[in-house]
Structure 1
Amino acid sequence: RSNGPRFVEATQHLGLHPITLSADPAQYEYLAAENIESIHVDTNNLDALIHECSRLRETYDIVGITSACEAFYATVGKLCRYFDLPGPNPVSIERCCDKFTQRQLLAEAGVPVPAYRLAVNATDVENSAAEIGLPVILKPVVGIGSSGVRLCRNVDELAEHTSYLLGGKHIWRSSPRILVEEFAQGPYYGTDTMGHELVAVGVADFGPPPHFVFREYSFPAPLADDEYKRIADVSLSCLRALGLGWGPTNIEFRWTKHGPVVIEVNP
């Protein structure tokens, strides 16, 4: 809802005709307000999307397919492959969106990440937190927008959030799996890349714990040259480790006493 209009404006600026495929076009008020063509289709059904795009190709030359939402970015990659269009590697996107797999690939490549464990039940969570040491971060293995992410500073908070995640209150986008992570402490930085090029480094401020809600983002981050280079080098290492490098990527860091530690790569 928030960044969709920018995609439409950019498309029109290029002299192209934007068409939105959505399971619920009515939720996007700007489509009707700007008289943007939309098609109702189950966006979780790849075959249905291929059918609609094939039908559109009978009338239009399709020059690109993209999405303003990370949850559908792997689907975008599959559609681009099917129609021989430039786009992201869907396998890389799917691996990156699984935060446990992402952690494994980054760690194997020598990229600095917090200590982490995979948990599927309350006992796993308790044992993992004991091994890592409190405080820890609990987060869904698959998810966006910091939904379900919480800092647990003691055993009571750990039990409370585990109960929330596994007790039916959290809406899971996949099978319930929890990532238990070391709480990397220090200033938060984020890099934005396009292809293999670093575009910007920003610094962010959060609301009060135990949740992680952004209050503001400032660009450019006030970094010394050597600090900027270290963050840039780690950012490019993340792209290589995860097989990314087509289109935009956002990489989140905490600058700890050991330097930059990667919190998350958003493809």
Structure 2
Amino acid sequence: MSTPWLVLVESNTTGTGRQFCAAARARGLRPIVLASDPSRYPYLDEDGYDRRVLDTADAAAVLQACHRLGDVAGVTSSSEYFIATAAEVATKLGLPSPDAPAVARCRHKDQQRIVLAGAGVPVAGFRLAREPAQAVAAGLGYPVVVKPSMGSGSVGVQLCPDRAAVERHATALLDAPVNERAQAVPRLVLVEQYVTGPEFSVETFDDRVVAVVAKHLGPEPHFVEHGHDVPATVPPGVATALGDTALAAIRALGLGWGAAHTELRLSAGGPVVIEVNPRLAGGMIPALLRLALGVDLVDAVVGRAAGRAVDVRPRPLAHASIRFAVADTPGVVADRTGLDAARATPSVTAAEFTVPVGADLAITHSFRDRFGYAIAAGEDPSTTADRARRAAAELHVVTR
């Protein structure tokens, strides 16, 4: 009897992509990654995973590849950019899947905002713009956040303090016909009121809040995530309000099957939804959930996609934090130092470089500027966070 396939449409370039394949193997499934360029994912060769090369932007091509494989137990993706395609294909194959139109709608931030606002879920004031002049005339005051209508990992998201900055950034976004994955994107940007206050994410599975996560961002005008803490050290009432707001957003969008990652700001008036992502969190947050709460959401996503039983009940164990090493100088990576020192830091459970020697570091003011990370776990949240920060600060790359 053949081992059923677990089909992964593309992958995260770091972290959880590799873990999805490992989780599938652990469940007795045969993982295979469908990719337009498998060389993006060195772990495929390192760990000996199957792959097929095809145009993954074409759902029909993905569906045909699945038909050729035969015994497919599930189709999913660890990548924000391909989760809608995976849902569409799984639905057509009669396999477990979230609501495919809801996932596709959620991927378009303009449609997401309209649905949430119409349902009374708190979101920032926003306007849609197809031309720079429309962005400038948004009438939301300053500063405002200007972002692409489709994207991930803070790519293209920028705080603009005045009219000139809005015009410059909106022009740059509108002049880009494709995203960083070479996918065609609509000529549309969002202009949003800037919501002040600390930022959090709420990790959910189905209709259950698994964790409230504290987010640490780099300096403005960009919004690069420099770290996360699990669980967020907030009063119980605040955690409940954040979780309830995230669940209201998920319900309004027609989600609530499997994992979702909702980002919020805690404003003076309460939680405000920044965006809902219809997939598992990135940024190594799943690793923190395993350490702090004993919940393996990577395994849960794989299991749910394959129609297997899952358990996402939190079992508090510790506090866990991650801090990223972020590049500030572009160039080709010639050397990497400090890994042993990072790993020797007390309470550190993992430290890694995420870019190899020879990689080209281009400063994009997004998640792609991160070149390494350190994770710590312990009983005291502030000590744990500090040790993750200290360990990440040991990591350095030399560029040429």
- TM-score grouping bracket, smaller chain normalisation: over 0.9
- The alpha carbon displacement at 1:169 in A equals 8.9
Alignment deviations for residues 23-52 of structure 1 (CA, whole Å, 9 cap, x no partner): 111221111111111111111122221221
Which one of 131, 137, 140 corresponds to residue 148 of structure 2? 140
Q: Which residue of 1 aligns with 2:97?
A: 87
Q: Which runs of 5+ in 2 are unaligned?
A: 1-12, 279-400
Confirm whether residue 224 of structure 1 aligns to residue 232 of structure 2: no
Which one of 47, 50, 56 corresponds to residue 43 of structure 1? 56
Mapped contact 1:143–1:173 kept (Cα < 8 A) = no
Q: Which residue of 1 aligns with 2:43?
A: 30
Q: Which residue of 2 aligns with 1:209?
A: 220
**Structure 1 residues 232, 124: closer, same or farther in 2, change over 3 A?**
same
Confirm whether residue 161 of structure 1 aligns to residue 169 of structure 2: yes
Mapped contact 2:124–2:273 kept (Cα < 8 A) = yes
More relative contact order, 1 or 2 (CA 8 Å, 6+ apart): 1
Name the amino acid aligned to 2:58. Answer: N
Confirm whether residue 187 of structure 1 aligns to residue 195 of structure 2: no
TM-score, normalised on structure 1?
0.94
Corresponding residue SS for 2:75: coil
Q: What is the root-mean-square deviation in Å for CA atoms of aligned residues?
A: 1.4
Which one of 36, 41, 65 corresponds to residue 52 of structure 1? 65
In the TM superposition, 1:224-263 aligns within 5 A as 224-263=235-274
Residue identity (%): 37
Mapped contact 1:119–1:179 kept (Cα < 8 A) = yes
Structure having the higher strand fraction is 2
Number of residue-to-residue matches in the alignment: 262
Corresponding residue SS for 2:191: strand
User: Aligned partners of 2:109 and 2:19: how far apart in 1?
Assistant: 28
Alignment deviations for residues 101-159 of structure 1 (CA, whole Å, 9 cap, x no partner): 1011111111100000000111101110xx11111000011111111110001223222
- The alpha carbon displacement at 1:170 in A equals 7.4
Name the amino acid aligned to 1:75. Answer: T
Mapped contact 2:201–2:215 kept (Cα < 8 A) = yes
Corresponding residue SS for 2:74: coil
Q: Which residue of 2 aligns with 1:63?
A: 73
Corresponding residue SS for 2:20: helix
Confirm whether residue 196 of structure 1 aligns to residue 207 of structure 2: yes
Q: Any runs of at least 4 consecutive aligned residues in structure 1 with deviations exceeding 6 A, and if so which?
A: none
